[in-house]
């Protein structure tokens, strides 16, 4: 596992908290270099050389494309995308107003699509890997 991941570069959306943070930490521990893409990431700060944060709103296609471009500039390859950015409305769906309903779909559904599509349209073949692996 460590050998397999040591040459890999991963993007983890929503990696500042919860499931995404746990995924980012596990990937770094396994030897991967990780880009955390999160609304809460304040700057493209190189935390320790193997963990970098890039502020991103995954509900915006332009920001997803910029994320992929910036990540490729920094690491020159991308192998893994883990889509963990998400919002949760802690009350019944039928009590949600329209803007909150739309926000859930914009982030949780469309954000996965925009990030995955941005990555797919920017593949950079390396080490015989023709396309990045996408984890939803
Ligand atoms: N934790 C659970 O047990 C659980 C179970 C089922 C489903 N989920 C869902 O999985 C998702 C993640 O859960 P979690 O517990 O890690 O949540 P969390 O709130 O701890 O983390 C979500 C992260 O996503 C980021 N984020 C939110 N909107 C964003 C956006 N537009 N662009 C980029 N980043 C954004 C937040 O800043 C945060 O860092 C949520 O949608 C949640 O509802 C969680």
Q: What is the dihedral of CA 129, 127, 134, 29, to 10 degrees?
A: 160
Say if ligand 1 is within 6 A of residue 74 CB.
Answer: no
Distance from Cα 61 to the centre of ligand 1, integer Å: 18
Report domain extents, the chain: 9-135
61-75 and 111-120 helices, crossing angle to 10°:
40
Q: Does pTM surpass 0.95?
A: no
Say if ligand 1 is within 6 A of residue 63 CB.
no
Other C-beta atoms within 10 Å of 45: how many? 12
pLDDT by residue for the chain (136 residues), tens only, comes to: 556 788 899 999 999 999 999 999 999 999 999 999 999 987 666 666 788 999 999 999 999 999 999 999 888 889 999 999 999 988 898 999 999 999 999 999 999 999 999 998 876 655 555 566 666 6
What radius of gyration, in Å, describes the C-alpha atoms of the chain? 15
Counting ligand 1 atoms within 8 A of each CB, the residue from 86, 101, 109 with the most, and so the one to mutate, is: 86
Pick the CATH number of 9-135 from 3.40.50.720, 1.10.10.10, 3.30.413.10, 1.10.1060.10: 3.40.50.720
Please report the DSSP string for 36-82 in residue order: EEETT--S--BSSSSEEEEE--TT-HHHHHHHHHHHHHHHS---EEE
């Amino acid at each position: 596992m460590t050998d397999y991941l040591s040459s890999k570069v991963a993007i983890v959306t929503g990696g500042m908290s919860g499931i995404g943070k746990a995924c980012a930490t596990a990937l770094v521990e396994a030897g991967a270099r990780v880009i955390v893409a999160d609304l809460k990431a304040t700057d493209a700060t190189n935390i320790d050389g193997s963990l970098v944060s890039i502020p991103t709103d995954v509900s915006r296609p332009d920001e997803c494309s910029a994320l992929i471009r910036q990540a490729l500039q920094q690491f020159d390859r991308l192998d893994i995308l883990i889509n963990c950015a998400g919002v949760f409305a802690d009350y019944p769906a039928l009590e949600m107003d329209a803007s909150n309903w739309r926000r859930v779909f914009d982030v949780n559904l469309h954000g996965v699509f925009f990030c995955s599509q941005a990555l797919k349209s920017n593949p950079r073949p390396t080490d015989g890997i023709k396309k990045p692996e996408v984890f939803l």
